[in-house]
Amino acid sequence: MHKLALLSLFLPTLAFADEIVMPDDEVTPTSTPTSTTQTVPTPEPPKKWIEPFGAIAGGVRLESLHQSPGEHTGTQNPTVAVSRLGVRGGIGDHITYASEFEASLGGPLGYGASVWEGQAAIAIRDQFVRYSRAGFSFAAGRIDDPASFDYVSAHVGDLLYTDLYTRDPLLYSGADRGNGLWASYDLDKHMTAGLTVHSTNPTGITGTLIIGGKLQPFDRPFYLAAAQVGNNQNNLPDQNLHIYFASPSFTVHADHVALQSEIQMYSLDTQEAVQTDQPIRGYNLRLGAKTWFDTGVGRVTPFVNVSRNKNEILDPTSSMYRLPDLFKSYTVSTGVDLDYQRHNGVGFSYAMVDTREPDQHVRQHYLNLGTTYWIEDSLAIGVRASVFAQQISGEMMTTGSRSLFVTARLVLN
Mind listing the domains of the chain with CATH numbers?
55-412 (2.40.160.10)
Q: Burial level of 271, CB count in 10 A (0-12/13-18/19+)?
A: middle
SS3 state of residue 87: strand
- Are 79 and 57 in contact by the 8 Å Cβ rule? The answer is no
> At 86, is the pLDDT very low, low, confident or very high (cuts 50, 70, 90)?
very high
pLDDT of res. 114: 81
- Report d(CA 92, CA 129) in Å as an integer: 13
Evaluate whether 259 touches 289 at the Cβ level (below 8 Å).
yes
SS3 224: helix
pLDDT of 44-79, one tens digit each? 888 999 999 999 999 999 999 988 877 878 888 999
* Whether residue 166 has pLDDT greater than 50: yes
The 3-state DSSP composition of the chain as helix, strand, coil percent (nearest 5) reads 10, 55, 35
Whole-angstrom Cα distance, residue 51 to residue 45?
Answer: 19
pLDDT in tens, 96-146: 999 999 999 988 888 888 887 666 678 889 999 999 999 999 999 999 999
How far apart, in whole angstroms, are the C-alpha atoms of residue 359 and residue 361? 7
CA pair distance 211, 221, nearest whole angstrom: 7
Residues linked to residue 297 through DSSP beta bridges, in sequence order: none
Length of the chain: 413
With bands split at pLDDT 50, 70 and 90, how would you rate the model's confidence at 37?
low
- Mean pLDDT for the stretch of residues 282-286: 98
Give pLDDT, residue 67: 83
The pLDDT, as a whole number, for residue 296 is 95
pLDDT classification of 383: cutoffs 50, 70, 90:
very high
What local confidence, expressed as pLDDT, does residue 74 receive?
84
Average pLDDT, the chain: 89
Give 27's pLDDT tier (boundaries 50, 70, 90).
very low
| Residue 253 pLDDT | 95
Task: Give the alpha-carbon dihedral of 336, 340, 346, 347, to 10 degrees.
Answer: 20
User: In terms of Cα–Cα distance, which of 118, 232, 164, 58 is closest to 389?
Assistant: 164
Residues 224, 30: Cα–Cα separation, whole Å: 79
**Which candidate, 78, 82, 77, 53, places its Cα nearest to that of 157?**
82
Q: Is the pLDDT of residue 225 over 60?
A: yes
CA distances 204 to 111, 187, 220, 239, 243, Å, are 24, 30, 15, 11, 9
> What does DSSP assign to residue 276?
S
How confident is the model at residue 18, as a pLDDT? 41
